Every structure is written in structure tokens, then in C-alpha cells.
């Protein structure tokens, strides 16, 4: 296998640059074919690299500035080309790196990635996607917040990109696709949703479209890809996270109630640990901006080195599995059908 070269925004995230370098170390131990370029304050990066086992000779690109996590997008963009985030993305644009990973400010990462890498030919709106744990399999959900307002064509393109993402990362042959709605009946929901359903169900598309799904269906794992607008997707993802946190906290409290429950915890510890690992947000770390001329992966800002290493793995898998050509082919294949159907809808 050939080398995959990743640009890492070493200054992004709550515990940067420590977690970024430790995470790269964990990833490199598992996959020696990875090469890293650390972008950020070289004086702060060097000590960590010198203590690392696998990264002693890694490249550093110095950046004087960084994007703060609480900065708004326009401030971050105005800061310009001297930030570690901008410079890391520039490596992908220049073709010197295959993908970029950052745990920094999501809005800024999206805006600066879009500015530099530009949307792929034919992609109207890039989208943020990630995988969620379910009862059966991991489900790819998108958009998670890049596009607050969406139309029919956006949703259809999200379905195409989500399917390619699922093929690249999980090796699913023919990903099943559901459109998130408030009911499974055909007449439910926004008009642009029903129009998207009509297009996706068109057999000429050759998509494995399964129909509308509801919020309860996301975690059932009946679908490989759940498509929605960025507002709803963001709320759904965060509501799932909040609910999981609530139950986990209640469970912790329950196990601390008495001597008996503490003994119970000791007896069940291994099983509880396995359960937690299925829900572990670190395992599912790594949201991707799909639809750009380059791969940009966003890590959770507060993750640890295990989580960061997973975000690196997502970026590497996308590179190695040819995600970009897959999406481009799918877009070309579907462009004519989609256009015909969208135009006929507008004329009707």
C-alpha cells in the first residue's frame, strides 16, 4: 500500500497540540503507511514529537496564528493565511497532502475548507457527515449542520455522497438510504422532502432508497445512510448525544447507590465496559465535509488521543478507498436523470 500523507492542524482542539500529536502516534502505530505534516506553533510541537515513538522525523510547518474555538466564522476567515488551520488545508489544496484533520472550530474549518478546496464539480452544497452507533450497524447521517436550509437537489446529492462515504469507510456494497421525516407515509413532511423521495425512488438512479424514516429509526440500524437537512441533522445528533449522556449519568448514580450496587458494578464491570465501548463517541469520532475537492475531517474538540487517532483513520480510509472518484462517478451517472426530473417538476 502506498503512503497516505495527512496535514494535521496541530493547534485545533481543547488540548492541542498534545492530543493531536499523541493521536497521530496512536494512528501511526496501527498504520505505518501514514505520514503526517504538523501545522502550528513549531516551538510547542517539537517537544511532543521528540518524546514520540513513531513521529521523531515528522514534518512541521510553522504557523504564527491559530483559529480560536469561540471565534465566529468571519473573524476566523479574516485572520487569514497565517493560521494553522488555513495552512493545513492549503497543503491539501497544493496536493502535498492527501487530506486534512482538525479538532478546531467547526464553522471556521468548513468555511476555510470550502474557500480553498471549492466544491466538487456538480456538487451544489458540501455536507457534514458522521457515523452513529445503532442496534445493528453504524449509520451514516448527513447533513449535520453545514446547510441550515436545503432543497430537493441538496438532499439527493447528500444521499449520493452519504452512500459513497458508507462504501469507503464501512465497505458496504449497496448502502440503503432513508430520508428523515416525521412519519413514513408518502404525504408527510416538507414538499422538498417528498420531491427528493420521488427522485431517489426512480429506478434509473439505481440508488437503494428505502423510503422515509423517523427519529426512532436512526438508532434501529435498518438503514446505512440517513439523509436530512443540516438543521434537523444537527438537532437529532445532539439530542441523541444528550440522551446518551443523561442515561449514562443515571446509570453511574444507580451503581453508586449502596454497597450492594457497588458490588454489582464490580461483577458487571467488563460487560458494562463493552456496552460503553459500543456507544463510545471516540470510536465514532471524525465528521467529514463531503463534496469538496479534497478531504477535510473534523475531530471533536474535546476528544483524547484514541478519538483523534480515529478521526485520522477516517481521513486515511477516505483517501485509500478512493472516496473522491466514487462520488464524482455517482454524480455524473445521476446528473442527467436528476436534472430531467427536477426540471419536469418545476414545469409541472
Shorter beta-carbon distance to a copy of itself: residue 261 or 340: 261
Residue 255 is a binding residue for a copy of itself (CB under 8 A) = yes
Residue 343 is a binding residue for a copy of itself (CB under 8 A) = no
Task: Name which position in 60, 264, 283, 337 contacts a copy of itself (CB under 8 A).
Answer: 264
| Mode of pairing for the β-strands spanning 4-9 and 99-102 | parallel
Binding to a copy of itself in span 219-248, by CB under 8 A: 219-220, 228, 230-232, 234-248
- Rounded (5°) CA angle 296-299-302: 155
Residue 249 is a binding residue for a copy of itself (CB under 8 A) = yes
Decide: helix, strand or coil at residue 28: helix
Shorter beta-carbon distance to a copy of itself: residue 239 or 336: 239
Shortest Cβ 145–a copy of itself spacing (Å): 5
- Residue of 203, 210, 228 lying closest to 140 (CA atoms): 228
Shortest Cβ 11–a copy of itself spacing (Å): 22
Shortest Cβ 122–a copy of itself spacing (Å): 26
Shorter beta-carbon distance to a copy of itself: residue 14 or 185: 185
Cell 455517482 appears where? Answer: 330
Quick one: which segment of 3-11, 271-279, 309-317, 326-334 binds a copy of itself (CB under 8 A)?
271-279
Task: Name which position in 53, 95, 171, 267 contacts a copy of itself (CB under 8 A).
Answer: 267
**Which grid cell sits at 61?**
510547518
- Residue of 296, 329, 229, 305 lying closest to 91 (CA atoms): 296
SS3 content of the chain, % helix, strand, coil (to 5): 50, 15, 30
**What does the per-residue mask of binding to a copy of itself show for 158-197, with x meaning CB under 8 A?**
----------------------x-x--x-x-xx-------
Q: With CB under 8 A as the rule, give the number of residues binding a copy of itself.
A: 61
Question: Could you tell me which residues come within 8 angstroms of residue 303 by beta carbon, excluding any fewer than 6 positions away?
Answer: 13, 19, 23, 103, 281, 282, 285, 311
The per-residue b/e assignment along 312-323, b for 16 or more CB within 10 angstroms, e otherwise, is bbbbbbbbebeb
Exposed (0-12), middle (13-18) or buried (19+): which is 76, by Cβ within 10 Å? buried
Q: Which residues of the shown chain bind a copy of itself in the complex (CB under 8 A)?
A: 72, 133-135, 145, 148-149, 180, 182, 185, 187, 189-190, 214-220, 228, 230-232, 234-251, 253-255, 257-258, 260-261, 263-268, 271-272, 274-275, 278-279
Amino acid at each position: 500500500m502506498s503512503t497516505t500523507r495527512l496535514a494535521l492542524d496541530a493547534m485545533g482542539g481543547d488540548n492541542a497540540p498534545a492530543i493531536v500529536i499523541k493521536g497521530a502516534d496512536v494512528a501511526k502505530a496501527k498504520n505505518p503507511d501514514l505520514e503526517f505534516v504538523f501545522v502550528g506553533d513549531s516551538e510547542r510541537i517539537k517537544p511532543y514529537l521528540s518524546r514520540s515513538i513513531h513521529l521523531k522525523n515528522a514534518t512541521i510547518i510553522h504557523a504564527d496564528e491559530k483559529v480560536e474555538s469561540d471565534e465566529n466564522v468571519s473573524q476566523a476567515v479574516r485572520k487569514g493565511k497565517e493560521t494553522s488551520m488555513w495552512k493545513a488545508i492549503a497543503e491539501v489544496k497544493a496536493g502535498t497532502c492527501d487530506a486534512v484533520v482538525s479538532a478546531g472550530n467547526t464553522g471556521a474549518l468548513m468555511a476555510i475548507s470550502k474557500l480553498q478546496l471549492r466544491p466538487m464539480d456538480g456538487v451544489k452544497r458540501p455536507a457534514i457527515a458522521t457515523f452513529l452507533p445503532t442496534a445493528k450497524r453504524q449509520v451514516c447521517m448527513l447533513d449535520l449542520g453545514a446547510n441550515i436550509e436545503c432543497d430537493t437537489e441538496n438532499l439527493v446529492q447528500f444521499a449520493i455522497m452519504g452512500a459513497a462515504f458508507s462504501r469507503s469507510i464501512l465497505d458496504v456494497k449497496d448502502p440503503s438510504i432513508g430520508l428523515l421525516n416525521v412519519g413514513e407515509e408518502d404525504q408527510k413532511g416538507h414538499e422538498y422532502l417528498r420531491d427528493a423521495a420521488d427522485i431517489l425512488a426512480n429506478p434509473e438512479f439505481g440508488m437503494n432508497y428505502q423510503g422515509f424514516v423517523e427519529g426512532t429509526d436512526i438508532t434501529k440500524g435498518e438503514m446505512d445512510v440517513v439523509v436530512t437537512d443540516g438543521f434537523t441533522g444537527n438537532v437529532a445528533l445532539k439530542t441523541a448525544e444528550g440522551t446518551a449522556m443523561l442515561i449514562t449519568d443515571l446509570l453511574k448514580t444507580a451503581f453508586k447507590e449502596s454497597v450492594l450496587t457497588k458490588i454489582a458494578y464490580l461483577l458487571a464491570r467488563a460487560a458494562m465496559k463493552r456496552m460503553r465501548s459500543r456507544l463510545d463517541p471516540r470510536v465514532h469520532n471524525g465528521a467529514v465535509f463531503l463534496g469538496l475537492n479534497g478531504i477535510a475531517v473534523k475531530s471533536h474538540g474535546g476528544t483524547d488521543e484514541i478519538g483523534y487517532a480515529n478521526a485520522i483513520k477516517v481521513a486515511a480510509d477516505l483517501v485509500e478507498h478512493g472516496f473522491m472518484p466514487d462520488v464524482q462517478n455517482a454524480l455524473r451517472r445521476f446528473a442527467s436523470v436528476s436534472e430531467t426530473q427536477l426540471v419536469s417538476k418545476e414545469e409541472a
